[in-house]
Amino acid sequence: MRTIEIYDTTLRDGSQGEGVNFSLEDKLAITRRLDEAGIDFIEGGYPLSNPKDAQYFDRARALKLRHSRICAFGMTRRRGMTAAEDPGMKALLDAGTSVVTIVGKTSAFHVTEVLGVSREENLAMIFDTVRFLTESGREVFYDAEHFFDGWKLDRDYSAETIAAAARAGATRIVLCDTNGGTLPDEIARLVAEAAASLHAAGVSVPLAIHCHNDCDVAIANSLSAVAAGAVQVQGTINGIGERCGNADLISVVANLAIKLPGYTVLNGGSGAAGTSHLTELSRFVYETANMSYRPGQPFVGTSAFAHKGGMHVHAIAKATESYEHIPPESVGNSRRILVSELSGRSNIAALVTRPDVKNDRALLDGVLTEVCRLENEGWQFEAAGASFDLLVDRIAGTFRPAFEKLAYNVAVESRAGDDVQTEATVKLAVAGVQRHEVAEGDGPVNALDAALRKALSEVYPALSQMHLLDYKVRVINAQEGTAAKVRVSIESTDGDAVWGTVGVSENVIEASWLALADSFHHFLGRAVQ
């Protein structure tokens, strides 16, 4: 069995995709989820590029990761200075990661026409950078940018560049199809040639692959590289990234673990043991990035195991393998029969955290029925675990609300000089007492949050520990225009745990209230126990 390392660059390369923007808390939440999934390496960003990435590495040091190693990303030293003098090198060391990934020019064309230095200087920049970082106690992965285009243009020079990185101490040479224009047969052939050139130079270093998807073959290219000997695959969750995106690690992992014999991934997992949470991971990243799911996404899309045609549905009822290449449960997905909606109780059981509920088939069926109803209305629970837990409690009859909403009102007043004032009033029943409070805020959600806290803090002083991290709004049925339903997702923390809640309504304030109230109920339900 060959172990293939999975290197995730969602937080850096993925964030360069159009419309993708992660907050600091988003990046930390994705890091935790990637670690839980067994990802080997997580590229956190370029610490010199912006304050958020620098803050990420400061905060990431406090994360108690079980398996993943965080990598800082940077470029070779600048021309005309030593690596020790380069501020980029200092930023990479200050990031405090055990692994640093360095990108360098591998194509002679890019060296002379884009970077504007001599070939010899570029080789020195690669060698000096890798050597400086390895002597500083860092493991270095060298990203050979534009490798495949450069190799076809000037094989000898490209071979010199990767040999320079290997001689300087790089432990992985990452062959990058940066423009995404190479096809699978070329990938396999050139990976083998690169390995042979390093061996001939006396510096055999394991190879990795990093593919972009401009020809829609990044996944196939990655698998071809593995077949040719690559030990590591780089990519992003859901394939997000610049231009047409990167290799989708969801499909790469599923293919290596399930479809191709002889490989282990994700901390030694193979088959369903290593892939059963892929759907959840995929949707978590979509929700965190505030992106719509791709229904037809292989393995994890909502339509990946959906059946509508009468002949198909009839056959599936007799033998699921008649129209499914793998069991949907092996990747955490579920079968859907359109028109007469069906799905599996096992999916609900996997999400339920209470042991007593997992073994109660009638209760699981009730939860499943309600989840199906709510999902048809636009609710999604993949990134709203707290709302899902509360839903289970409500159906089980064990929900004990910390407060009861009697009424609320939000008033927005626009005054002269573009001065906008927002005021929220809430009327609650708390511990048998009716409380009526009013508060101002920066917008309706902030005002509601402030009014809720005023009404609850006297009875629940622990609320001071809780605050909101993120707030997202998504239109569900855009064809309805301004009357469309919206889904509000809220992420909250008490400084230790982080949880998500969701609300859906045609009224954005009501949707916000539902998500906000769930967040308070979740926290108070744990705080008062």
Query: Is residue 426 helix, strand or coil?
Result: strand
Entry pTM:
0.69
CATH superfamily of 2-270: Aldolase class I (3.20.20.70)
Same CATH topology for 373-399+466-529 and 403-459: the answer is: yes
Give which of 210, 221, 225, 9 is closest to 106, Cα–Cα.
Answer: 210
pLDDT of residue 49: 81
pLDDT of residue 306: 83
- Please give the chain's pLDDT, 529 residues, in tens: 899 999 999 999 999 999 999 999 999 999 999 999 999 999 999 998 888 999 999 999 999 999 999 999 999 999 989 999 999 999 999 999 999 999 999 999 999 998 899 999 999 999 999 999 999 999 999 999 999 999 999 999 999 999 999 999 999 999 999 999 999 999 999 999 999 999 999 998 999 999 999 999 999 999 999 999 999 999 999 999 999 999 999 999 999 999 999 999 997 655 455 799 999 999 999 989 988 889 899 999 988 998 766 677 667 778 888 889 999 999 999 887 653 334 455 556 655 667 777 678 888 888 888 888 888 888 888 778 899 889 989 998 989 999 999 999 999 888 766 778 899 999 999 988 999 999 998 888 999 999 999 999 999 999 999 998 889 998 887 777 777 889 999 999 988 888 999 999 999 999 999 999 999 999 998 876 5
Cα 202 off chain centre by: 39
Architecture of domain 403-459: 2-Layer Sandwich (3.30)
- DSSP assignment of 81-99: S-GGG-HHHHHHHHTT-SE
Distances (CA, A) of 76 to 84, 86, 105, 212, 225: 12, 9, 9, 21, 25
pLDDT of residue 385: 84
Q: How many residues does the chain have?
A: 529
pLDDT of residue 363: 87
pLDDT of residue 260: 94
Query: Is residue 227 helix, strand or coil?
Result: helix
Q: Does domain 373-399+466-529 have CATH number 3.40.50.300?
A: no
- DSSP assignment of 472-494: EEEES-GGGGGG--EEEEEEEES
- Domain ranges within the chain, ordered by starting residue: 2-270, 373-399+466-529, 403-459
